[in-house]
Structure 1
Amino acid sequence: MGNKGCQLLPIMVAVFLLSLSFMCGFSSAVADQETELMNELSEAILEEDVAIEESDHLQTYIVHVKRTHRRVFTKSDGLESWYESFLPVATASSNRKQRIVYSYRNVLNGFAAKLTAQEVKAMEEKDGFVSARPQRILPLHTTHSPSFLGLHQELGFWKGSNYGKGVIIGVLDTGLFPDHPSFSDEGLPPPPAKWKGKCDFNWTSCNNKIIGARNFDSGAEAVPPIDEEGHGTHTASTAAGNFVPNADALGNANGTAVGMAPFAHLAIYKVCSEFGCADTDILAALDTAIEDGVDVLSLSLGGGSAPFFADSIALGAFSAIQKGIFVSCSAGNSGPLNGSLSNEAPWILTVGASTIDRKIMATATLGNGEEFDGESLFQPSDFPSTLLPLVYAGANGNASSALCAPESLKDVDVAGKVVVCDRGGGIGRIAKGQEVKDAGGAAMILTNDELNGFSTLVDAHVLPATHVSYAAGLKIKSYIKSDSAPTATIVFKGTIIGVPTAPEVTSFSSRGPSLESPGILKPDIIGPGVSILAAWPFPLENDTTSKPTFNVISGTSMSCPHLSGIAALIKSAHPDWSPAAIKSAIITTADLHNLENKPIIDETFQPADLFATGAGHVNPSAANDPGLIYDLEPDDYIPYLCGLGYTDEEVGLIVNRTLKCSEESSIPEAQLNYPSFSIALGPSSGTYSRTVTNVGAANSSYSVQILAPSGVEVSVNPDKLEFTEVNQKITYMVSFSRTSAGGEGGKPFAQGFLKWVSDSHSVRSPISVMFE
């Protein structure tokens, strides 16, 4: 890819803001969960940043410097002195330390500092200076999901992995509400001896569950990392919340709330607020988490595609895997458009979002007898079943009214009526209902746009409401036009378990291909991310109980901690496995079919492609026993990075040391020992190798099975693998050649699978082919 990602800051910021990865709105009481809302917030942030820059002329920069060989830094003050030497000479000594925001020790050689553009220019002349760039603000990207994933108490993998006991999950998010029962330490031992972190909550809040808590939000380290948004509490409890019986949200989704690794420890790093997440803070938190001794890092945040050397999460994650730390990140909420995902680096597990087999159903019933099933968390028991007048808010031709934007219904007669509102337009779904309520409407039917198709979401609406599909919306609007006095009501049917089409890929889940490295298939995996119940810091609208609060929200922010917790379970069961080994086990054992044994579908109700599903839907129990793994050491990524066309300096920024690509064996992307294949195929054939490691029975035999992509011939040599011992490695070659001008129907992409099958294992690698 070369240096194509080196863009001017405004362009890069724009790309990042277009790839939003947080499905939750910013309200202290309710999560609006709407990605579009972040656009307005992001614009406000940019305007504020411009105003600050114009008035103060100072901006926070991330500065990379060379590692000095003349000194060995044993104390942070020595390192800080070295970094301070790069500051302008004219800066008063008393102000020099104030200029340094962070001194990084692990994630990169360098620091974050408040500088003017002129000062950065002058710094370029200093010996040891490498580069500097302004910080970026990145957006933030369960009672039933454990059983849906096959995790059952006192049985199988969950019990065998000891529920993640002894593993430390570091969560970078909006902080935590520590007094929630999900963070009880009942049944947990003290943290392992390797733990070096600290907990900045008061002594009654820190326990054997919450062993670490630090605040890096804009450098506010002295302030406890209390969650004021809800997002961090929700993601942390999804990853590792303890068992909480009799949990529900507004009386729905009843059951025992529990995270994926309920006996794992949690280390909380607050890096985000309602305004987003500064990448200087993210780097500082990653730097600290690596030093603290975490085993798994979970980041439900990210920006758009960027070169890995300019991507703070990629930089920090590479330093983490060098220390054996597994990194799980959300793919983003910019779907269903292709090329929309975040966190593309191959050393990161990139997670898309899928549904579970639970719906909280609310059915729109029309005066002509038609019924359309939708969803809503708020299920009022006293809403009348009698038909009410039905109106489409956009019938006046006003686009703002159609979206039920703030103040848009003032002059629309909605009093006492069921109001149809269109989804989108940068207005949160719950906010639309608030506008209907304020205007006197009795209820809301929220209809999808065409892009979101059949994907609906559960929300804690402020009035009786239901969210229905695009197809349903068209029929409802057609009825309104055809009837002189249209009527409707909403029938609330509560929690429904066993939806046969689950898991489905939801519309908002970001899609591949990776823009920065198309030779690596992304996302890697999908996991539960739609209508997930987990801990919440404050009461919801319409909540009349005094029980601990849970909320049901959606986003790849929710799917990411599911995979973080599952990685912790695997780490607990296999403490000697590398991050790449854990990732391989997750990818090669994924499910391709839904509960009715049909291919996983997307928001169009058609089979989802690999750019939506990655390898498929996570299967935790199968991932614990994969048979074979595709392993990688950190240095194995260097030939791959050199093959991307990065300069020596750019590769050095990623791997955190000086090197020369001319002295390394550069490889094409598809040659990386990754557990999937993403091939660009022209007239000539391409041949790539893979090395598998036997982690199953010592004596085992595997035969290859191939489902070739349409228009492609795939051959494997050897076609049989014979193992005689555990951890034995065997290399095989795969050749790809074209048999037609394109895939099925002349499409530019085609997909298939390669499987190694033994008597007890099936090790599947997805194949994506782009025709050149």
Structure 2
Amino acid sequence: MDCPERLGVLLLASLLAVAFAHHDTGVHKNYLIIVRRPYEYDHKLYKDVSSWHASLLASVCDQAKEELEADPANAPRLIYSYRNVVNGFSARLTPDEIEKMSKTDWFVKAVPEKTYQLMTTHTPRMLGLTGPIFPAGVWNRSNMGEGIIIGVLDGGITPGHPSFDGTGMPPPPAKWKGRCDFNSSVCNNKLIGARSFFESARWKWKGVDDPVLPIDDSAHGTHTSSTAAGAFVPGANAMGSGFGTAAGMAPRAHLAFYQVCFVNKGCDRDDILAAIDDALDDGVDVLSLSIGDDNAGDFAADPVALGGYSGIMRGIFVCTSAGNNGPIAGTVANEAPWLLTVGAATTDRRCLADVKLGNGLEIGGESYYQPKTYVSVLRPLVRDTGANATCSDKSVLTSEHVRGKVVLCYTGGNLTNLEKGSILHDAGAAAVIIVYPELAGSVIAPKAHALPAAQIEYKSAEKIEAYMNSTQNPTARLIFRGTVFGNHRSPAVPSFSSRGPSRQNPGILKPDISGPGVNIIAGVPMPDGLAQPPNELAYKFDIMSGTSMSTPHLSGIAALIKKAHPTWSPAAIKSAMMTTTDTRDRRRMPMLDYDGAPANMYALGAGFINPTRAMDPGLVYNLSAHDYIPYLCGLGYSDHEMNSIIHPAPPMTCRELPVVYQKDLNYPSITVILDKQPYAVNVSRAVTNVGNAKAVYVAFAEAPATVSVTVTPNRLSFTEVNQVQTFTVTIASKKGKLKKRITEGQLKWVSLKHVVRSPIIVSSKKFFQKNTTTADQHTANSQLTAGV
């Protein structure tokens, strides 16, 4: 919505509030109101959709008295009028008003307010973007994403950060229609857009009063934005570790930033919808959303799913985070199949900091703060005597107890590890050993503490405890070994990365793919928990971990692919990424999960992104936006719900469409359930040739001995580019009902030049029962985790 239009809506709503505010005493809440399709407004009577929505609201509202500190007469009732993402509007309403509204002919449903949550110097080289000799590799083939616009929805962004320097950047393409609310010294050809969306959030949260500029105290938005499209920054580092040239995945792409999240307040659904609504009209090419809700519910009320569908209708690639609620099964967020859902994995970079005990035993650890002034000598080793050894009791962490000593602290309690380090630093402790939770396994995500620190695995603490119990005067020292590369057990999946199966569409593998999401160095306003940074750029970069970090990696890579292949659909780009992934680590062994066991597909997705191969996948599984409509009908959505999702496409009726079941959606992965005799399922797929005009592909299927996979035909011959060939995959149990809960395999289409790989998941029974409660789902999740 442009400024005049939005001001007009607010003015009209304010006048309505003045007229009727004194006749209503109900309590207001924010609601998303879905309007019936194909209900349309009279273009002669209303100049635009916003005026029409305001009239619908006025027709049923008595303008309840606002329970706000401000004068209720000044409070507009209409919050947002949506154009692209959904056929409807958001407004503040009372239950009585909702009841009255439900009796009108234009009303479909009212969805109550909901809050969503937010979920580098080496990764470009690790991912092969630069090639062995700069600037070869994917960057060379895609001109680093030049001319592509990446829209990031997140918290605030840091104006003037070196990652957003526009020096040498060309102007944005003519299609760009957005605006940047920073001044001309900050807005440039790199950061071309920056806006804040807060109309809905400010009704619920004190302290969100007209933040005209999209700035906040968190590092999240700056970190994700610089990861996706940050400029080159030589000498970037995290407290002196990980020195290198920082760059986003698409360093020549333009960045448009949309603030929808606020510190300690989350991200309001209606603000997310409004931001996507404007981003689509602004002209973005890629949307990056490190935002999600683990219980988002059906797609008809999920802003990421709704906005994402509107995006793909315009050819916009939409990249989202899988969430950080692993390792329990069934926790994956952003489940819609038109979204790329990204899990997290480790990189091969570590900053080693070992612990050497007084008995000579050395224990491996990591640390991103390795001060040259630290003298590595044996010092008294003590543990926290209270708060379950978590160093969360400030009365114990006094100078008398810790000065000049090495302190052993377990993660947990009522303080963060950074807060503990700061308290110990102030109390004069020489160093701290942080023990990571047992659930984290072998994956450590260290931070740069205010004092010398080593962060170690939980199982290593047993050796330290045994030593401390064996002597009256235990001692220890830290040995800093600097930054090393080439961890042969990477990539690996961290415990926090959310796992499938999807609850909304269990017949589709989610997450789709994994990318770098552990110990990522990228831009921040100011590092957390530090003493004096060792150099100027250490003020500007920090380490963060999460699927929030893996998402912008894939968003940036999508921009590179889109630049190299401008005619490819979002589904084709997604397919190129998913069918060319790595599933083995640097040892050429299956990638591991956090606990040292091989990672299954519900943790890893199709695999770890390989941008070089994704640029030239050979074949793609293509889908248009329209192709998802029969699939939505197959999921059981009503016509009203389906039309709400596909808005602003023309309304349709499911009975007039051929139903497409989950297994038959033309997706790059295959998921089937063999829970009924004869324990065999046929799956339909179509592939489009995007490689050499003339090519022959032969099918190779891999599966355990208990399952047969037959491909018909098993040979595909192509004679031209963009030619489409169809095939059927028959998956069957060889000996009746499968005993194993989940079986994994893969289908490969192999030519002389390409290998196109699709994951196959076979389940012996349905993952979730319909209409289960949250408690029932958690029980099912626990059983599924045990059975994988």
The question of a shared fold, defined as TM-score above 0.5 by the shorter chain, is answered with: yes
Question: What letter matches 1:770 in structure 2?
Answer: S
1:284 paired to 2:277: no
**In 1, distance between residues paired with 2:65 and 2:546?**
47
Question: What letter matches 2:222 in structure 1?
Answer: T
**In 1, distance between residues paired with 2:110 and 2:394?**
44
Q: Per-residue deviation at 1:606?
A: 2.0
Q: Per-residue deviation at 1:741?
A: 6.3
* Structure with larger RCO (C-alpha < 8 A, sep 6+): 1
Change in 2 beyond 3 A, CA 1:303/1:735: same
**In 2, distance between residues paired with 1:96 and 1:654?**
33
Q: Per-residue deviation at 1:627?
A: 0.3
For 2:32, which of 49, 59, 62 is the aligned residue? 62
Change in 2 beyond 3 A, CA 1:408/1:302: farther
SS at structure 2 position matched to 1:612? helix
**In 2, distance between residues paired with 1:426 and 1:298?**
33
**In 2, distance between residues paired with 1:74 and 1:710?**
66
1:206 paired to 2:187: yes
Residues 120-269 of structure 1: pairs in structure 2 closer than 5 A: 120-152=98-130, 153-217=134-198, 218=201, 223-269=212-258
Residues 444-523 of structure 1: pairs in structure 2 closer than 5 A: 444-523=432-511
Q: What residue is the counterpart of 2:21 in the other structure?
A: none
CA contact (8 A) 1:361 1:495 kept: yes
1:409 paired to 2:396: yes
**In 1, distance between residues paired with 2:279 and 2:225?**
15
SS at structure 1 position matched to 2:151? strand
Q: What residue is the counterpart of 2:286 in the other structure?
A: 296
Provide the identity percentage.
49
SS at structure 2 position matched to 1:69? coil
Q: What residue is the counterpart of 1:373 in the other structure?
A: 364
**In 2, distance between residues paired with 1:739 and 1:484?**
63
Q: Per-residue deviation at 1:762?
A: 0.2
Q: Per-residue deviation at 1:445?
A: 1.4
1:102 paired to 2:75: no
Change in 2 beyond 3 A, CA 1:537/1:79: farther
**In 2, distance between residues paired with 1:643 and 1:416?**
66
Change in 2 beyond 3 A, CA 1:300/1:710: farther
1:724 paired to 2:715: no
Could you tell which deviates more after superposition, 311-320 or 427-436? 427-436
CA contact (8 A) 1:376 1:457 kept: no
1:418 paired to 2:411: no
Choose 1 or 2 for highest CA Rg. Answer: 2
SS at structure 2 position matched to 1:606? coil
Residues 582-621 of structure 1: pairs in structure 2 closer than 5 A: 582-621=573-612
Change in 2 beyond 3 A, CA 1:74/1:356: farther
Question: What letter matches 2:273 in structure 1?
Answer: L
**In 1, distance between residues paired with 2:468 and 2:338?**
52
* Deviation readout 1:346-396 (Å, 9 max, x if unpaired): 111011111111101111111222212111111122223222222332xx5
Change in 2 beyond 3 A, CA 1:357/1:91: same
Change in 2 beyond 3 A, CA 1:485/1:675: same
Change in 2 beyond 3 A, CA 1:249/1:525: same
Could you tell which deviates more after superposition, 723-732 or 221-230? 221-230
**In 2, distance between residues paired with 1:334 and 1:56?**
37
Q: Per-residue deviation at 1:416?
A: 3.3
**In 1, distance between residues paired with 2:424 and 2:214?**
36
Question: What letter matches 2:724 in structure 1?
Answer: K
1:84 paired to 2:57: yes
Residues 342-381 of structure 1: pairs in structure 2 closer than 5 A: 342-381=333-372
Q: What residue is the counterpart of 1:18 in the other structure?
A: none
**In 2, distance between residues paired with 1:407 and 1:574?**
57
| Number of residue pairs matched by the alignment | 712
Q: What residue is the counterpart of 1:694 in the other structure?
A: 689
Q: Per-residue deviation at 1:596?
A: 2.1
Q: Per-residue deviation at 1:76?
A: 5.4
* Deviation readout 1:394-438 (Å, 9 max, x if unpaired): xx5x5x342222536358944433222222456432123234445
**In 2, distance between residues paired with 1:74 and 1:180?**
42
Residues 363-762 of structure 1: pairs in structure 2 closer than 5 A: 363-393=354-384, 396=385, 400-405=387-392, 407=394, 409-410=396-397, 413-425=401-413, 427-438=415-426, 440-538=428-526, 541-542=530-531, 543-547=533-537, 549-656=540-647, 658-682=651-675, 683=677, 684-709=679-704, 711-740=706-735, 746-762=739-755
Q: What residue is the counterpart of 1:36 in the other structure?
A: none
Q: Per-residue deviation at 1:168?
A: 0.5
Q: Per-residue deviation at 1:480?
A: 2.2
**In 2, distance between residues paired with 1:227 and 1:139?**
15
**In 2, distance between residues paired with 1:106 and 1:177?**
29
Q: What residue is the counterpart of 2:91 in the other structure?
A: 113
**In 2, distance between residues paired with 1:76 and 1:645?**
30
**In 2, distance between residues paired with 1:504 and 1:698?**
37
CA contact (8 A) 2:26 2:65 kept: no
**In 2, distance between residues paired with 1:262 and 1:422?**
39
Q: Per-residue deviation at 1:649?
A: 2.1
TM-score, normalised by the number of residues in structure 2: 0.87
**In 2, distance between residues paired with 1:158 and 1:563?**
14
**In 1, distance between residues paired with 2:327 and 2:253?**
34
Change in 2 beyond 3 A, CA 1:499/1:636: same
CA contact (8 A) 1:83 1:110 kept: no
**In 2, distance between residues paired with 1:599 and 1:759?**
24
Change in 2 beyond 3 A, CA 1:614/1:90: closer
Q: What residue is the counterpart of 2:42 in the other structure?
A: 71
CA contact (8 A) 2:499 2:510 kept: yes
Question: What letter matches 1:340 in structure 2?
Answer: T
**In 1, distance between residues paired with 2:291 and 2:344?**
14
* Deviation readout 1:85-104 (Å, 9 max, x if unpaired): 35504569995971111111
SS at structure 1 position matched to 2:462? helix
Q: Per-residue deviation at 1:452?
A: 1.1
SS at structure 2 position matched to 1:584? helix
Change in 2 beyond 3 A, CA 1:340/1:429: farther
Q: What residue is the counterpart of 2:328 in the other structure?
A: 337
Q: Per-residue deviation at 1:539?
A: 5.2
Question: What letter matches 2:288 in structure 1?
Answer: S
Q: Per-residue deviation at 1:641?
A: 1.3
Question: What letter matches 2:753 in structure 1?
Answer: S
SS at structure 2 position matched to 1:259? coil
Could you tell which deviates more after superposition, 403-412 or 437-446? 403-412
**In 2, distance between residues paired with 1:86 and 1:313?**
30
Q: What residue is the counterpart of 1:764 in the other structure?
A: 757
Residues 32-47 of structure 1: pairs in structure 2 closer than 5 A: none
**In 2, distance between residues paired with 1:608 and 1:310?**
32
Could you tell which deviates more after superposition, 334-343 or 407-416? 407-416
**In 2, distance between residues paired with 1:445 and 1:478?**
15
